[in-house]
Amino acid sequence: MEGARVETAAEALLVRAAQRGIDFVFANAGTDFAPLIEGLCRLRAAGVPVPEALPIAHETAAVAMAHGYWLVTGRPQAVALHTNVGLANAVMGLINAASEEVPMLVLSGRTPVTESGRLGSRDLPIHWGQEMRDQAAMLRELVKWDYELRFPEQVAELVDRALAIAGTAPMGPVYLSLPREVLCTPSPGLLEPTPRQVAAAPALPTAAAIDEAAAWLARAERPLVVAQRSGREAAGMAALVRLAEVAALPVAEHWPARISFPADHPLHAGFDPHPLLREADLVLTVDAPVPWLPARAAPPAGCRVIALGADPLQARIPMRGFPADLVLAGEPTGTLEALADAVAERLRGTEDRLARRRAAIARHHVAWRTAARALAERGAGTPMSAAWVGRCLAEAIGAEGVVFAELGVDPAQLGRSRPGSWFSHALSGGLGWALPAALGAQLADRERLVVATVGDGSYLFANPVACHQIAAALGLPVLTIVLDNGTWNAVRKSTLAVYPDGHAARANRMPLTSLEPRPDHAAICAACGGWGRRVRDGAALPGALAEALRVVREERRQALLQVEVAA
C-alpha cells in the first residue's frame, strides 16, 4: 500500500488502520464520531483505502464479531464505541476476548475535554454527563495496553504500538481513547505505510527444556495430553497430531474453546480427561487454562506435569494452583513440532511398546464414541435431549462449515475433526457471545456454512433483535440453533452439584432458574427477514434441520431453529 495524504487526526487513524491490515471497524457510534464519519466520506471520495465501517446495533455484538472474525482469519480487527457508555456495554465481550487471548483494537470516543473554543468542543448536555476521571479504568484489567490520543501527530505510532502489543503472545485486546477535539485537529501530511513497531516474533523454549520434556515423555508408561485451544490453525492441530502419533499419546480435550485434535482420530481420548488423569504418570497440558477440575480428580502421587503454551502459567488468572513441574513457554505450534522431533529420536526401537499403547487408546476411543452415540439415541423422543440435537446436527452438516457453541451442543456429539471448525465460549463465561461471533465469522467467509448453537439463556443475552438485524443488514445467512429448556440450566446444575440432597433439589420450582414463559425465538428471527421454526419432537428435527440448511444455502437467508429440549 502506498502512502496516503490525510487532513485530520481522524483521517490519519482510518488510513493507518487500513495500512495495518484492518478490514472492518465494528462500530456503535455516538456524538464523538463526527470527525470519523466526515473522514470516512472525504477519504472515500478521494479514493483513499480505509476499513469498511459497519454500524453494529449493540456493543457486545461488535466485540464478539471482531472476536469471531479473528478466530477464522487470524487478522485482528477494530471496534469503535461511544465514550464511557459504549465501553460499559462492551466490557463483557472484552472479558471473553481477554480470557481467550484475542487481539483486537478497541477504540472509543472520550467526551470533549474543552467546553468551548475548539472544533469538536462540548455542544450537548451529555458531554458533561459522560465525563470521567479515568475512563479506561473500567477495562484496564481486560486489555494489554491503553492510552489516550493527545496530539494528531501521534496517530500512526499509537496504532502501530497498539497492534504490535495486541499481536505479541500472549495476545489480547488493546484500547485507545479518542477525544473529539483531537480527532478534529488538522494533521495534513503524507502517511507512509511502513509500520513503526511490529509484534514480537514467536518464541520457543530452550533446546534443553525441549530435550528434558522429550525424555519425560519417552519414559512415561501412562501419559496423557490435555488440550483446550491449540488448534485454531491447521498447523497447530497437525503439530499436536504428529506428537501424539510419534509417542502414542492419548489426547483429551477438556472444555475446548477451540478444537485441538481431530475427534475421529483413534488417539482422541474424549472430552473428559478425569478417568485417564487418575492413572497417569505424566500429563502434558497444551494451552489449557483449566486442564482438569480438581474437585473431580487430580494427578496421582509421582505424576509429573509439563505445561506448554504461550503463557503456560496463565499469569492473567490470579489464583491457579495446577501443578507445573516443567514449563515450556513458547508459541504452541512450534513448541509441539520441536517436541515431536525430540521425542521421536528417544523412542527409536520401542515400536512394540508404542503399538500396545496405541491399541489401548484406540479401544478407549471407540468406547467413548459408542457411549456418546448411545446417549444421543436415548434422547430422540419428546422433549429431545441436547445430545440428540448434537448428533442430528453432526449428520446434517458433516465436515462442512464452522460451529460456534455456547452452552449448546456437546462437542462429543458433533465430532469435529477439521481445524477451525469448532469454537466454544470463553471459560470466563460472558454470555451472549456465540451468535455475534458467528456473524463475524460469516462476514469473514461469506461462502462458508456458519452455525451458532446456544442455550436459550445465552440467546437472550446476545441481544437477539440486534443480532438478527445485523445479519439482515449485512446479508449474513447464519444458522442459529437455540436449545430451549426454559431454565437457566447451568445455575440449576451448579446448585444440584453443591447441594445434591438439599432443599433446592426437592423444590417443585428451584428459585432463580426459570426462563418461563418461553419467548418465541423463531419469530424474532422471522421479524428480521429470516426463517424460523419451533421443534418439539426429536423425530422431526432432521427434517427441520434440512429445511433450515436449504434456506441458508439456497436462499442465503438467516435461519433459526428453536428446539425444545429436556432440562
Place 42 in a pLDDT band, splitting at 50, 70 and 90: very high
Report how far residue 439's alpha carbon sits from residue 65's, in angstroms, rounded to the nearest whole number.
6
What is the chain's mean pLDDT, rounded? Answer: 95
Structural domains in the chain, sorted by start: 4-191 (3.40.50.970), 207-367 (3.40.50.1220), 379-564 (3.40.50.970)
Report how far residue 143's alpha carbon sits from residue 497's, in angstroms, rounded to the nearest whole number.
34
For 84, other C-beta atoms within 10 Å of its C-beta total: 20
Q: Which residues share a beta bridge with 483?
A: 455, 563
Q: What burial class does residue 542 get, using C-beta atoms within 10 Å of its C-beta: 0-12 exposed, 13-18 middle, 19+ buried? A: middle
Over residues 456-471, the pLDDT tens digits come to 999 999 999 999 999 9
- Per-residue cell: 368: 467413548
Report, as an integer, the average pLDDT of 92-96: 97
Over residues 148-185, the pLDDT tens digits come to 999 999 999 999 999 999 999 999 999 999 999 999 99
Place 1 in a pLDDT band, splitting at 50, 70 and 90: low
Place 232 in a pLDDT band, splitting at 50, 70 and 90: confident
Is 90 exceeded by the pLDDT of residue 505?
Answer: no
In the DSSP assignment, the letter for residue 258 is: B
Is 90 exceeded by the pLDDT of residue 558?
Answer: yes
Angle, vertex CA 446, rays to CA 444 and CA 450, nearest 5 = 85
- β-pair type (479-484, 450-455): parallel
Report, as an integer, the average pLDDT of 418-447: 96
Distances (CA, A) of 172 to 166, 198, 203, 256, 317: 5, 15, 17, 19, 14
Report how far residue 245's alpha carbon sits from residue 354's, in angstroms, rounded to the nearest whole number.
9
Over residues 266-305, the pLDDT tens digits come to 999 999 999 999 999 999 999 999 999 999 999 999 999 9
Q: What is the pLDDT of residue 212?
A: 98
The percent of the chain in helix, strand and coil, each rounded to the nearest 5, is: 45, 20, 40
Those residues whose C-beta lies under 8 Å from the C-beta of residue 11, and which sit 6 or more positions away, are 39, 42, 43, 187
Over residues 381-430, the pLDDT tens digits come to 999 999 999 999 999 999 999 999 998 899 999 999 999 999 999 999 99
- β-pair type (4-8, 24-27): unpaired
Residue type, 231: G
Report, as an integer, the average pLDDT of 516-526: 94
